[in-house]
């Protein structure tokens, strides 16, 4: 049961509807009664603040959201208002989620659409990485389609700042993300870096072009084992009209070992903008050796699986 219902007030904000729930927060569409604008309230679960690391993660998300100012990134609104409890006020994006739009399609998307979306996301990632922010949970459910078809990256709950110390949950390991889109290094408990976002970008493009994610399984552990030890089926075997150069870019972004992927989004964008002149044969598409096993979740496995269930679905 959500903490707030439509009509409830939180400081100057009137709750309009529940937008969704996450691992440690609830998001609401709300009206700012002072000026009539629509915003998003991201309200953390107060019970989790007993863990200092959880509170630190909330503060980090707030810091990240407040420093981002880009049309393709959902930022925070900080008007200096004294708040009755800790919560984030975010810009509201009128539109659909990329996840919902892709599920409506129920199959591969037009190639032109995938390339357009891929370019928009890469440009947004280039901005984030330039600001020292790694998203670490890029997926269709965390991308909104705003007016005019403009994509907006949202949800920085697991993002990290370059140089920031590592935070550890009391009941969770460092393995955070969504299994379908999680990079192999994150599946092993690594912090991830810009190349982890590039891997997730590749998975999203693969899904857009083929209508399916590269790895499947009966549970999240099986899916992540695929990232570590399996090889995605070539796009050409699932869809014959995808240009070889585009397939090469997507598959290069999804290489298992970070050092074998694009090393920066700028490099990725350069290739994405030069598809007509790229030589697909220049890219190594041979199978990669398997990575080690998943990081053990130990006693926190139940909560970890709950986390994935709530964060997943994109």
Report yes or no: 259 and 152 within 8 Å, Cβ to Cβ. Answer: no
Count of Cβ atoms closer than 10 Å to residue 148 Cβ: 6
pLDDT at residue 85 above 50?
A: yes
* Residue 14 three-state SS: strand
Whether 110 is covered by a domain: the verdict is yes
Considering the domain architecture, whether residues 218 and 74 belong to the same structural domain is answered as no
Helix axes 194-210, 111-130, angle to 10 degrees: 170
pLDDT at residue 49 above 80?
A: no
Considering the domain architecture, whether residues 225 and 125 belong to the same structural domain is answered as yes
Considering the domain architecture, whether residues 108 and 39 belong to the same structural domain is answered as no
Task: Provide the pLDDT for residue 184.
Answer: 95
pLDDT at residue 227 above 90?
A: yes
**Active-site option among 11, 96, 137, 193:** 137
Show the tokens assigned to 206: 């693969």
What pLDDT digit, counting tens, does each position of 178-194 carry? Answer: 899 999 999 988 989 99
Whether 7 is covered by a domain: the verdict is no
Considering the domain architecture, whether residues 162 and 252 belong to the same structural domain is answered as yes
Last residue of a domain, one of 91, 119, 150: 91
What pLDDT digit, counting tens, does each position of 246-261 carry? Answer: 999 999 999 999 999 9
Whether 73 is covered by a domain: the verdict is yes
Sheet with 96-97: list strands edge to edge: 96-97, 143-145, 151-153
Q: DSSP character for 174?
A: S
Whether 294 is covered by a domain: the verdict is yes
Q: Determine the Cα–Cα distance for residues 45 and 43; give it in Å rounded to an integer.
A: 7
- Cα 283 to chain centroid, rounded: 26
Count of Cβ atoms closer than 10 Å to residue 273 Cβ: 12
Last residue of a domain, one of 91, 111, 140: 91
Any idea which of 182-186, 197-201, 299-303 has the lowest mean pLDDT? 299-303
Q: Determine the Cα–Cα distance for residues 200 and 5; give it in Å rounded to an integer.
A: 35
Considering the domain architecture, whether residues 146 and 115 belong to the same structural domain is answered as yes
Show the tokens assigned to 151: 């994509």
Count of Cβ atoms closer than 10 Å to residue 257 Cβ: 12
Query: Percent of the chain at pLDDT above 70?
Result: 87
What pLDDT digit, counting tens, does each position of 16-42 carry? Answer: 999 988 777 899 999 999 999 999 999
Whether 47 is covered by a domain: the verdict is yes
For this structure, is 271 an active site residue?
no
pLDDT at residue 155 above 80?
A: yes
Task: Provide the pLDDT for residue 172.
Answer: 40
Report yes or no: 178 and 157 within 8 Å, Cβ to Cβ. Answer: no
Q: Determine the Cα–Cα distance for residues 108 and 127; give it in Å rounded to an integer.
A: 28
pTM here?
0.87
Report yes or no: 119 and 149 within 8 Å, Cβ to Cβ. Answer: no
Task: Provide the pLDDT for residue 66.
Answer: 87
Considering the domain architecture, whether residues 123 and 197 belong to the same structural domain is answered as yes
Whether 139 is covered by a domain: the verdict is yes
Last residue of a domain, one of 71, 91, 111: 91
**Mean pLDDT value across residues 135-150:** 95
Considering the domain architecture, whether residues 147 and 296 belong to the same structural domain is answered as yes
Task: Provide the pLDDT for residue 176.
Answer: 55
Any idea which of 14-18, 122-126, 158-162 has the lowest mean pLDDT? 158-162
Domain of 18, CATH number, reads 3.30.200.20
Whether 270 is covered by a domain: the verdict is yes
Considering the domain architecture, whether residues 265 and 144 belong to the same structural domain is answered as yes
State the chain's mean pLDDT as an integer: 87
CA-nearest of 263, 260, 265, 314 to 291 is 260
Considering the domain architecture, whether residues 187 and 271 belong to the same structural domain is answered as yes
Task: Provide the pLDDT for residue 314.
Answer: 39
Whether 4 is covered by a domain: the verdict is no
Range of the domain at 201: 96-302
CA-nearest of 50, 181, 189, 200 to 128 is 200
pLDDT at residue 299 above 60?
A: no
Task: Provide the pLDDT for residue 47.
Answer: 77
Considering the domain architecture, whether residues 123 and 184 belong to the same structural domain is answered as yes
Please tell me the total count of domains within the chain: 2
Q: Where are the alpha helices (DSSP H) in the chain?
A: 52-67, 98-105, 111-130, 184-187, 194-210, 220-229, 235-238, 244-253, 265-272, 301-311
Considering the domain architecture, whether residues 60 and 85 belong to the same structural domain is answered as yes
Domain of 197, CATH number, reads 1.10.510.10
**Mean pLDDT value across residues 107-121:** 97
Considering the domain architecture, whether residues 48 and 106 belong to the same structural domain is answered as no
Q: Determine the Cα–Cα distance for residues 47 and 15; give it in Å rounded to an integer.
A: 21
Q: Determine the Cα–Cα distance for residues 86 and 66; give it in Å rounded to an integer.
A: 14
């Amino acid at each position: 049961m959500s903490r707030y219902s439509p009509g409830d007030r939180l400081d100057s904000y009137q709750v309009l509807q529940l937008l969704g729930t996450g691992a440690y927060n609830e998001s609401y569409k709300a009206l700012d009664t002072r000026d009539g604008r629509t915003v998003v309230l991201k309200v953390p679960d107060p019970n989790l603040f007993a863990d200092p690391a959880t509170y630190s993660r909330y503060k980090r998300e707030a810091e990240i959201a407040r420093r981002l100012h880009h049309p393709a990134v959902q930022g925070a609104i900080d008007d200096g208002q004294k708040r009755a409890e800790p919560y984030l006020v975010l810009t509201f994006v009128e539109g659909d989620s990329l996840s919902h739009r892709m599920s409506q399609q129920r199959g591969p998307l037009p190639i032109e659409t995938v390339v357009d979306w891929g370019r928009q996301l890469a440009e947004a990632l280039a901005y984030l990485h330039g600001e020292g922010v790694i998203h670490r949970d890029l997926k269709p459910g965390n991308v909104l389609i705003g007016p005019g078809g403009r994509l907006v990256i949202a949800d920085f709950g697991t993002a990290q700042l370059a140089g920031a110390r590592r935070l550890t949950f009391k009941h969770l390991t460092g393995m955070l993300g969504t299994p379908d889109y999680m990079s192999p290094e994150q599946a092993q408990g690594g912090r991830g870096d810009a190349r982890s976002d590039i891997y997730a970008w590749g998975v999203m493009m693969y899904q857009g072009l083929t209508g399916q994610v590269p790895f499947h399984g009966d549970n999240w552990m099986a899916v992540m084992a695929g990232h570590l030890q399996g090889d995605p089926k070539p796009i050409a075997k699932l869809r014959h009209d995808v240009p070889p150069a585009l397939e090469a870019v997507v598959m290069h972004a999804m290489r298992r070992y970070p050092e074998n992927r694009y090393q920066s989004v700028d490099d990725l964008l350069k290739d994405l903008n030069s598809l007509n002149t790229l030589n697909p044969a220049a890219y190594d598409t041979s199978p990669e050796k398997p990575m080690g096993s998943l990081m053990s979740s130990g006693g926190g496995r139940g909560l970890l699986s709950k986390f994935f269930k709530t964060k997943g679905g994109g």
